[in-house]
């Protein structure tokens, strides 16, 4: 799924793919905000994105998609 993170006072969003579920992303976000720590997310290629929770303006979590195989719609 695609995750978009808006950061305060920054014009561009941070966009990454993730294999986490919506619930897991919500848990990580809630924990980072409660602790005042850093939100840490890793993409399928192993790249880690760290965002200070205090600087997060919004997070948009795309739908969990089931990848289709083949050419059928």
pLDDT value of residue 73: 59
pLDDT at residue 13 is higher than 80: yes
pLDDT tens string 25-58: 999 999 999 999 999 999 999 999 999 999 999 9
Integer Cα distance of 26 and 20 in angstroms: 10
Judge whether residue 22 has pLDDT over 70: yes
Measure the CA–CA gap between 37 and 53, rounded to whole angstroms.
Answer: 6
Please tell me the predicted confidence (pLDDT) of residue 65: 67
Tell me the pLDDT of the chain averaged across its residues: 89
Q: What is the pLDDT of residue 5?
A: 95
């Amino acid at each position: 799924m695609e995750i978009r993170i808006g950061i305060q006072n920054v014009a561009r969003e941070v966009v990454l793919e993730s294999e986490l579920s919506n619930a897991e992303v919500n848990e990580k976000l809630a924990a980072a905000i409660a602790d005042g720590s850093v939100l840490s997310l890793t993409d399928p290629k192993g790249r880690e994105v760290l965002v200070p929770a205090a600087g997060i303006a919004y997070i948009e979590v795309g739908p969990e998609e089931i990848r289709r195989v083949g050419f059928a719609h």
